[in-house]
Structure 1
Amino acid sequence: MALALLAAPATPVGAAAGTDTHIEGRLPSGAAYLIDVPADWNGTVLLFSHGYTPAGSPNPAQNAPGTAAKELLLNEGYALIGSSYATTGWAVTDAVPDQLATLDVFTSRFGKARRTIAWGSSYGGLVTTAIAERHPGRIDGSLPMCGLVHGGVANWNNTLDPVFALKTLLAPDSGIALTSFPDRTAAATAADAMTNVVSTAQQTGQGRARIALAAALHNIPVWNDASQPRPGLTDWDTQQANQYRALSGLVQLPAFVWRQEAESRAGGSMSWNTGVDYSAMLRRSTTYKEVTALYKKAGLSLRNDLAALNRAPRIAADPAAVDWMSRTSAFTGKLRKPELSIHTTGDALVPVQVESAYHRAATAAGSAPLLRQAYVDTPGHCTFSAGEQLAALHALEDRITSGRWGDTGPLALNTRARAADPAGQPRYIRYTPAPYPRPYDLAHPADRP
């Protein structure tokens, strides 16, 4: 592949005819960007938003969800672009302008694309949806994949619920802080303390039942990693063991350390559980039956534990922090261009129920006809195959071209996936996610604390 490599944002020059073009550079913000344009560019540019990068971690520019998808897309003639974002962590206020600036760099060199599609994985799905709602004139459609389409406020509230249950039921006198961390060290200390609480509790039947209750409040699926055994419908012990692994990961980073970084941007705690009825939340959980079975097996009273949760001192949010998170990271549901959102059913980090939250917002905003959602039956976060990703992209393109949705059911998407990547085994299924436990969007102002 012939490369035209630019290490700085120099004035663009036209690509030589018949060659592939690779460009690396930096935006005025300091973010790196990456552009790949095949010699036989088909006129469509894909603006890829990458996932969450923890503070202090390497932060390279990315313009595709993975090597396999990138190779297939370039072979099909797509131009691929994306940035690193100027900062790491909960960087939405940098990510959106940096992504749009990368699109500007592309346009200045190659001219306006015939079609522009925003897409992204995980946290990049939040960035993608923010672009779709707030800058619809810059794109023709959007494709969030395993995205935080429920928005930032709902995400941090739902991350609070399981650790609140763990502290209340397993370590009520521990003094472990759950929000309002003064610095990263304090958050890491709290994470270590809660990790010890959870690992100790896992050694007893009563502790395992309470861990299952905490996992249910986050809707952690009972099969959430490909290395795990897929449990039977009533194999409660294996289900809980699988959830324990995921919950331990949630405690170690997102619930404490990543929260502290987001709080530092918001200027305080953006989460609350005042007014939350945990009994009602559990009844809506997809793993309610597992929890009741494990409580019975352990000889514990679920009613008493739920009563303890509901009478425990609650956590209030900082109104200014909620306002910041709402303005930067919550959604209205108002779409002006078509969006196809895809999700794996076994996602523990960003549970599939987030799709219900965005569907709720889009329906309230009158945008439901522009939204389609599809589901891949596999464990893990963002564990799509390249063919599954391209199938969704092609279905969205057909909607953009024709002005109406074609067949986005599992049979049609699996057929598209096989055509895009004959070596793959596509896994789209017909699926309806349960309601999201604590939705929050700008289309429902009554949800404010």
Structure 2
Amino acid sequence: MRNATPLALCFGLCAALLSPPTWTRPPAVSGPHTETGALQGAPWRIDYPARWNGEVVLLAHGFEPVGTSRPEPWPGNENSEALVNAGYAVAQSGYASQGWAVLDAIDDTERLRQRFVARHPDTKRTWILGFSMGGAVAVATLERLPQHYDGGVSLCGANLPGDVLAAEMLASLVAFAYFFPGATGLPEGGLWSPAAGALPQAALFEAVGRAVQANPEAAATLARRLEVGVDELAGTVSLHALVFQQLVIRHGGIPVSNQDTVYVGFGDDTAFNASVRRVAATPAAQARLKRELRLTGALRRPLLLQYNHSDPSVTPRFEPVYPALAAKAGASPAPRVLPRTGDGHCAFTPDEVVAAVVMQSQAASARDE
């Protein structure tokens, strides 16, 4: 220290004594700014607030159909601004691949987290927040890497183990084939067949839509079983076909069997079970799916789950699956399910998203006191 007077030294020492110790203050950042880049093929983005609270949210986005154009640099999520305004840094990976990229998303998000904490070693808390498919990413990340997170939030999340997800998708596809046999423009082998995977997405949706419109009675029965509106049925079945084909591609074959499944809720269930197509799994693909997309419910970090009303993608029958797994596994703490809000898929306001993260942050502060 050059030319310091005794008075200046006193003021400096008093200021140091009166200010909180460094371990209670959020680490400093250089004002509001954004960083972007790529890690092993995955685009990423980090947004920093003007006054950082020392906490970072790793944000996991949802399903991105293969072939979707990707802007450069990676854009912020529609909720990023609200989180940043609340004082959080927000780090987002675009993932190295598109489609049902849960496994890539877990690895890519972890690489981004490592990059962040290496540059900000005084980070106070780390959260993971996921939407839709990203909700499954958030839940799986908390199960697999609990040591790196203080907790997480899954909003409108497909919080299902891989085998349950695949079985749900297959049920939709074989039911569609049962109710709409010989639909024009669709392969005879069914929407689970390799031929369906080769269809352009627009052609798939249009063909499913034509079949639905041609048989309103069958459409009503299937829509009721899938818990969607008739006007949402074509989109739901098409989405299920896209996701199922992704599971087939990523795991090297049909990853689930329905040969012993007894279906209910499809009208005349006796006739349905007698005539519905039965599909055998490829053993290696089935084993790989269970291994790579497993969820056990064995949580060791706080998790908030929240869903929407009238969500055609994550319907009410999906909601109790993960809490039941957690109860069976003796999760500590058990996941907390917030009341539904909004209408539609991922219909949350930015304020609701921030409130869920703040709820976790405040609970963590209370535990620390």
Q: TM-score, normalised by structure 1?
A: 0.69
In the alignment, is residue 264 of structure 1 matched against residue 277 of structure 2?
no
Distance, in Å, in 2 between the alignment partners of 1:41 and 1:385 is 22
Q: CA deviation at 1:376?
A: 2.5
Question: Given that residues 349 and 381 in structure 1 are in contact (C-alpha distance below 8 angstroms), is that contact kept between their aligned partners in structure 2?
Answer: yes
Residue among 291, 315, 320 paired with 1:327: 291
Residue among 215, 220, 223 paired with 1:215: 223
For residue 376 of structure 1, give the secondary structure of its aligned residue in structure 2.
coil
For residue 54 of structure 1, give the secondary structure of its aligned residue in structure 2.
coil
Question: Given that residues 168 and 308 in structure 1 are in contact (C-alpha distance below 8 angstroms), is that contact kept between their aligned partners in structure 2?
Answer: no
Question: Given that residues 161 and 218 in structure 1 are in contact (C-alpha distance below 8 angstroms), is that contact kept between their aligned partners in structure 2?
Answer: no
Q: CA deviation at 1:214?
A: 1.5
In the alignment, is residue 398 of structure 1 matched against residue 350 of structure 2?
no
Question: Given that residues 135 and 157 in structure 2 are in contact (C-alpha distance below 8 angstroms), is that contact kept between their aligned partners in structure 1?
Answer: yes
Question: Given that residues 24 and 33 in structure 1 are in contact (C-alpha distance below 8 angstroms), is that contact kept between their aligned partners in structure 2?
Answer: yes
Name the residue aligned to 2:273. Answer: 310
Name the residue aligned to 2:117. Answer: 107
Name the residue aligned to 1:195. Answer: 209
Name the residue aligned to 1:25. Answer: 37
Q: CA deviation at 1:187?
A: 7.4
Name the residue aligned to 1:411. Answer: none
Distance, in Å, in 1 between the alignment partners of 2:317 and 2:241 is 22
In the alignment, is residue 88 of structure 1 matched against residue 91 of structure 2?
no
Distance, in Å, in 1 between the alignment partners of 2:335 and 2:173 is 33
Q: CA deviation at 1:147?
A: 0.6
Residue among 349, 358, 364 paired with 1:385: 349
Deviations 1:142-180 (A, max 9, x none): 101101111332222212223322321331798341323
Distance, in Å, in 2 between the alignment partners of 1:25 and 1:173 is 45
For residue 45 of structure 1, give the secondary structure of its aligned residue in structure 2.
strand
Name the residue aligned to 1:41. Answer: 52
| Correspondence 1:129-148 to 2 at 5 A | 129-148=139-158
Residue among 136, 155, 158 paired with 2:168: 158
Q: Which has the larger radius of gyration?
A: 2
Name the residue aligned to 2:190. Answer: 177
Question: Given that residues 183 and 211 in structure 2 are in contact (C-alpha distance below 8 angstroms), is that contact kept between their aligned partners in structure 1?
Answer: no
| Correspondence 1:269-280 to 2 at 5 A | 269-279=254-264
Q: CA deviation at 1:332?
A: 0.4
Name the residue aligned to 1:74. Answer: 84
Name the residue aligned to 1:6. Answer: none
Name the residue aligned to 1:440. Answer: none
Question: Given that residues 130 and 137 in structure 2 are in contact (C-alpha distance below 8 angstroms), is that contact kept between their aligned partners in structure 1?
Answer: yes
Residue among 362, 377, 390 paired with 2:326: 362
Amino acid at match of 2:271: A
Q: CA deviation at 1:342?
A: 0.8
Q: CA deviation at 1:275?
A: 2.5
Name the residue aligned to 1:52. Answer: 63
Deviations 1:18-70 (A, max 9, x none): 5223111111x11111011223110100000011111111245768641xx32
Distance, in Å, in 1 between the alignment partners of 2:89 and 2:232 is 36
Question: Given that residues 117 and 140 in structure 1 are in contact (C-alpha distance below 8 angstroms), is that contact kept between their aligned partners in structure 2?
Answer: yes
Name the residue aligned to 1:439. Answer: none
Distance, in Å, in 1 between the alignment partners of 2:49 and 2:359 is 22
Question: Given that residues 166 and 247 in structure 2 are in contact (C-alpha distance below 8 angstroms), is that contact kept between their aligned partners in structure 1?
Answer: no
Of stretches 117-126 and 364-373 in structure 1, the one that deviates more from structure 2 is 364-373
Distance, in Å, in 2 between the alignment partners of 1:128 and 1:309 is 36
Aligned length: 336
Amino acid at match of 1:150: L
Deviations 1:67-110 (A, max 9, x none): xx322222221111011100111212211111011111112222
Q: CA deviation at 1:265?
A: 0.7
Question: Given that residues 170 and 244 in structure 2 are in contact (C-alpha distance below 8 angstroms), is that contact kept between their aligned partners in structure 1?
Answer: no
Distance, in Å, in 1 between the alignment partners of 2:291 and 2:110 is 18
Distance, in Å, in 1 between the alignment partners of 2:320 and 2:28 is 47
Question: Given that residues 133 and 331 in structure 1 are in contact (C-alpha distance below 8 angstroms), is that contact kept between their aligned partners in structure 2?
Answer: yes
Distance, in Å, in 1 between the alignment partners of 2:42 and 2:341 is 35
Question: Given that residues 341 and 347 in structure 2 are in contact (C-alpha distance below 8 angstroms), is that contact kept between their aligned partners in structure 1?
Answer: no
Q: Where in structure 1 are there 5+ consecutive unaligned residues?
A: 1-14, 221-242, 283-301, 405-449
For residue 152 of structure 2, give the secondary structure of its aligned residue in structure 1.
strand
| C-alpha spacing 1:157/1:59, structure 2 compared with 1 (3 Å) | farther
| C-alpha spacing 1:118/1:64, structure 2 compared with 1 (3 Å) | farther
Q: CA deviation at 1:133?
A: 0.5
Name the residue aligned to 1:435. Answer: none
Deviations 1:365-411 (A, max 9, x none): 0016431011334321000111111221122222222339xxxxxxx
Q: CA deviation at 1:259?
A: 2.3
Amino acid at match of 1:215: A
Deviations 1:109-150 (A, max 9, x none): 222410000011011111111111001111110101101111
Deviations 1:294-348 (A, max 9, x none): xxxxxxxx4xx32221102422222222222211223000101000111102111
Deviations 1:173-226 (A, max 9, x none): 983413231573257566654433222112xxxx2xx22221233222xxxxxx
Amino acid at match of 2:232: A
